[in-house]
Each structure stands twice: as structure tokens, then as C-alpha cells.
Amino acid sequence: MKNIYLDYAATTPCDPQVIAAMEPYFFEKFGNASSLHAYGQEAKKAVEDSRVALADFIGAKPEEIIFTSGGTESDNSVLFGVASALEKKGNHIITSAIEHHAITEPSKFLQKKGFKLTYLPVDKDGLVSGEDLKNAITDKTILVSIMHANNEIGTIEPIQKLATIAKEKGIYFHTDAVQTVGHIPVDVNDLNVDLLSLSAHKFYGPKGVGALYVRKGTRLETFIRGGDQEKGRRASTHNTSGIVGLAKAVELCKNNMESEFKFQASLRDRLLKEIPIRIPEVRLNGHENLRLPNNVNFSIRYIEGESMLLSLDMLGIALSTGSACTSSSLEPSHVLLAIGLDHGTAHGSLRITLGRWTKESDIDYLLEKLPPVVEKLRAMSPLYERKNT
């Protein structure tokens, strides 16, 4: 049976070169980066070299990088850290209706604690409007957090424009760039952001390690307290092997991003063109052009995404119906509802995400197998039957 992985937005395999770079840091070079002896200094050098590599990749200064356990921790640190540092200045935070749960859950928590949250709507393609942002800002606004690209529908937001609106009013701007770093160019100065989250396992690095970019001078309260690692901004013994793996993943992305972008975008465009030709009554979710090079998301009407996912899994094709975090829930995705889909259409969505090891023949196989699966499921669907009578 074939084994075709088309769920790279959920997570990517660790590149073998990343694994090789990490390997010495488990036994040979196992030191604690905070220790003063040679073992410690060796680990410390590896952490600091990695910091320089990551900073260079996103246009930051090394001292503006805090290593974390991943995207969720980086996002939580921003919301709780800014809320706590600036609570005397204001209690209003603006975010969007399509953020990852790593933003929406801490937002809801802050709301319970008395903060005012505004969730900006998006248009039918998933774009946040600058006008809406301008209108939402009050003299109590302390933070705006809008994701760089959406993990479900792949829409890339106009971050530079949105960040400039916030910064002209002296308000901090954060972007969750977990789906973009390593896939499209990301530069903190071009984007004009104060804070940016990223996660290694989304760009062929290991799971459980990521970073938060914090522009010099940005006030952020620490909430993981303990040792004085990361200059007291994030306690806990450094995950040296993970950090080294993140830096190696960065190096590989730097060298390959342009060619990978072109190839994946060509496969994506083939799917965007051919799926609607081969399957009637589908709807593209996300923006036609302003989208990640590796993301395809369609709603296939009258059937359930879960049934398609399981049928395709039996044929050796792994993909997703929404974000990995919501795939066990029966609630339709908040992102698909936010772009205006009704519950039924939202339930029939399929996310296909491509990556470094996706081949043209994988796309051929999917295009061969998907239409009969849809036809079979529609033949059993009472909704489809009703529509045809």
C-alpha cells in the first residue's frame, strides 16, 4: 500500500540532516548550558550559535530571541506577558476570529480575568481588514495579535499594513508566524512587528522547541519563572539538542526555500485547478493568490470531512479536515465559520498540505483516488440525495 503524507501543516518529519546535527547533544555533548565547566560551555556555545543563526534568518538581533518549547508557549507568553506588563496602561487586546487555539484560549482566559478582547472578523477569503483594525483600537488597547498565515486555509495576512496601523498608535503588534517561518520569507523589520512566534516542527525541525522574537525595548512579563536562563526571560534548562535542531532546520530552509516554494506552489496550483474539474460542487477555502505555497483547502459539499479522511487513510493518504488540534472535536472549525461557511459545508472540508518530500506522483495518486471516494460517499449521503430530488 502507498504511504502518502499530505499533512505538513500539522507537523513535518524531522529532516535527517537535522537529526544528525542534534545527535551529539544527547550523549557526547550533553552538558547543561548554564554550567561553568567545559561541558556546560560547549552546550552554551551551541545554544548561542543557534540563536545567531535564527536571528539572522528572521532579521532580528540575537538578544531579541527567546527559545521556548514551541508555538503554543510563545503565543501564551505574548498574551500573558504583555497583559501583565501593561495592565496599568490598558486592558484591551485585539486579535482575529481565525487565530490558532494557542492564541484564542489564552485570550478567553484573559477575558475571564477582566480584559476586553476584540476578535476582528475576516472576509470570505480569510483576510483581516485594516479599516476594522483602525476602528477597533481604543486608548486602552495594549496589544494586537494577528497570525501571519492561517494554519487551516493558508491565507497570508497583510501583516506589515496591520502592524503599521497599531504601531502608529504606540500599540505592540504580535504575529503568530508558526506556519510561515521556513516556508516564505519572514523578516521582523519588513513585517514591522514587535513580537513573533515560531515553532521548529513546522519546518523540518524537532517537536517541542520554538522561539519568541521580542523587539528590543518591548515590555513583557516573564511567566515561566525559575532559573535565570534566557536572561531571566524564560526559565528551565536549555533544550540544547532541540535548539541545535531548530538552527539546522533554519539553515536547510535558508538554502532550499526558494526552490521548495516554487515546486510546492506548482503542485498546489495543480490541485487548485484539477480538484474542481474532477469533483463537482466544491468550494475553495482561503485566498486564491495570497496563500501559503503548500496549502490547499476545499469544502466538498454534502459529505463529512471525517468520512473522506478515513476513506483516504485506508488508501494510504494522510491529510486533515481542519487543524490537528480540533480534529477530535465535532464542532466545525471556527476558521471556516469565520469565512462564512454554513455548518454543513464547513464539516465537508479537506486540508491538503504539501512539503519537502511531496512528489508529483503523490498528487497523481490523490487526484486518482479522491473523486471515487467522494462519489461513493455522496451516493450514501442523505443530503446529496435530497439535493438531487
Q: Among all residues, which ones are annotated catalytic?
A: 325
> Could you tell me the CA-to-CA distances from 88 to 62, 136, 141 in Å, in that order?
30, 20, 11
Amino acid identity of 27?
A: F
Contact residue for ligand PLP among 81, 210, 293, 322 (CB under 6 A): 210
Answer yes or no whether residue 334 interacts with ligand PLP by CB under 6 A: no
The residue among 41, 46, 48 whose CA lies nearest residue 21 is 46
Contacts by residues 191-194 (CB-CB < 8 Å, ≥ 24 positions apart): 191/148, 191/159, 191/160, 191/163, 192/159, 192/160, 192/163, 192/164, 192/167, 193/159, 193/163, 194/167, 194/218
Decide if 243 contacts 102 (C-beta within 8 A).
no
Q: Which three cell numbers stand for residue 356?
A: 519537502
Strand segments (E) across 69-201:
92-96, 116-120, 141-145, 172-176, 195-199
Contact residue for ligand PLP among 47, 127, 162, 178 (CB under 6 A): 178
CB nearer to ligand PLP: pick between 119 and 384: 119
- Report the distance separating Cα 174 and Cα 170, nearest Å: 13
CB nearer to ligand PLP: pick between 155 and 199: 199
Answer yes or no whether residue 147 interacts with ligand PLP by CB under 6 A: yes
The residue among 86, 293, 93 whose CA lies nearest residue 174 is 93
- Report the distance separating Cα 145 and Cα 128, nearest Å: 11
Binding segment for ligand PLP (CB under 6 A), chosen from 40-48, 64-72, 104-112, 153-161, is: 64-72
CB nearer to ligand PLP: pick between 145 and 358: 145
CB nearer to ligand PLP: pick between 152 and 260: 152
Shortest separation between residue 208's beta carbon and ligand PLP, angstroms:
8
Answer yes or no whether residue 305 interacts with ligand PLP by CB under 6 A: no
Answer yes or no whether residue 144 interacts with ligand PLP by CB under 6 A: no
Answer yes or no whether residue 71 interacts with ligand PLP by CB under 6 A: yes
The DSSP bridge partners found for residue 65 are 213
Count residues near ligand PLP (CB under 6 A). 15
Q: How many CB atoms lie within 10 A of CB 258?
A: 10
Answer yes or no whether residue 151 interacts with ligand PLP by CB under 6 A: yes
Shortest separation between residue 199's beta carbon and ligand PLP, angstroms:
3
Binding flags for ligand PLP, 97-136, as an x/- string (CB under 6 A) = ---x-x----------------------------------
Block residue for cell numbers 534568518: 57
Contact residue for ligand PLP among 7, 176, 194, 304 (CB under 6 A): 176
Q: What is residue 210's three-state secondary structure?
A: strand
Binding segment for ligand PLP (CB under 6 A), chosen from 33-41, 69-77, 219-227, 343-351, is: 69-77
Binding segment for ligand PLP (CB under 6 A), chosen from 54-62, 71-79, 279-287, 308-316, is: 71-79
Answer yes or no whether residue 199 interacts with ligand PLP by CB under 6 A: yes
Interface with ligand PLP by CB under 6 A: which residues?
Answer: 70-72, 75, 100, 102, 147, 151, 176, 178-179, 199, 210, 323-324
